[in-house]
Amino acid sequence: MAEKRLSHAYMLLGPEGPGRDEDALRLAAKLLCPEPDAPCGRCRDCRKVLAGVHPDVIRVGREMAGKELRRDLVVGQIRAMTADAALAPNEAARKVYIISPADRMNAQAQNALLKALEDPPGHACFILCAEAADALLPTVRSRCVRAEAAGGGRERPEGMDELARAYLETAAGGDRAAVALYCMSRAKLTREQTEAFAGAVKDALWQILCGRAEDPGLGRNALFRLAGLMDKTEDYLRHNVAPKQIFGLLAVETLEETCT
């Protein structure tokens, strides 16, 4: 379980619907599953989570106000959630709170959540499901591991998924010269292609973490660390850093991320 405590907060991005809901449950199962191949899908925790009946997986969503569904998630809901998070789990080692749609939290609710993200109970984890990261406060986003839900990514240039898989396989090999050669050979990609590459790598990482694709040998810690490196890459692109410098960064930091 030590690796599963790498983060206590996840931001799951994608259109609202069954695909995102399924990914949120799979992530919750991964966090609660005691098996090495989590989520195994066989243990009691996995079966209960995926059936939607686990007492330690709590959904927080918009409530009814009379006969109308509230437009927003309000501060009272988040305060009630954080009070519940202070209580011990019922069956599993952790409690998982799925907040959906998290981008419908008003400002007061987000500020209340921020306090929980800054100083969470050791047994609590939060999954924020949202269509757009920009709808959440920067301080909230900065405390979450980001990932895209199934179907959440935009269409990208042909061949980027293959480039992403090759990057992860090269990183898993642990050879610094091979990683540097791979990265520098991609330094002539355009800004748009580099952005698409980073998105494809993040999607590939998420597929592995959700159990939909095989891990090339990186391990859970490295998968999350590389996701953070891709977030850094996207941030540098937004600040007009050239692709050549981006791939120079990846050549240097990829194995730093996977080996620490």
Q: Which comes out higher in pLDDT, residue 111 or 69?
A: 111
Range of the domain at 200: 160-259
Is the four-CA dihedral 85, 89, 94, 99 of positive or negative sign?
negative
Domains in the chain, number: 2
Rounded to whole angstroms, the Cα distance separating 94 from 67 reads: 34
Asked whether residue 153 is assigned to any structural domain, the reply reads: no
- 126-139 mean pLDDT: 90
Show which of 91, 115, 148 is a domain's final residue.
148
Q: Do 114 and 179 sit in the same domain of this protein?
A: no
Q: Do 129 and 14 sit in the same domain of this protein?
A: yes
Each residue's pLDDT tens digit, 21-35:
888 998 999 899 988
Asked whether residue 154 is assigned to any structural domain, the reply reads: no
Q: Do 206 and 142 sit in the same domain of this protein?
A: no
Each residue's pLDDT tens digit, 140-182:
998 998 877 765 444 567 789 899 999 999 999 999 999 999 9
Write out the chain in H/E/C secondary structure: CCHHHHCCEEEEECCCCHHHHHHHHHHHHHHHCCCCCCCCCCCHHHHHHHHCCCCCEEEECCCEECCEECCCECHHHHHHHHHHHCCCCCCCCCEEEEECCHHHECHHHHHHHHHHHHCCCCCEEEEEEECCHHHCCHHHHCCCEEEECCCCCCCCCCCHHHHHHHHHHHHHHCCHHHHHHHHHCCCCCCHHHHHHHHHHHHHHHHHHHCCCCCCCCCCHHHHHHHHHHHHHHHHHHHCCCCHHHHHHHHHHHHHHHHHC
**Residue 91 scores a pLDDT above 90:** yes
Report long-range pairs for 173-179 (Cβ below 8 Å, ≥24 apart): 173/217, 174/255, 174/258, 174/259, 176/255, 179/250, 179/251, 179/254, 179/255
Asked whether residue 227 is assigned to any structural domain, the reply reads: yes
Look at residue 147 in the predicted model and tell me its pLDDT: 78
Look at residue 155 in the predicted model and tell me its pLDDT: 56
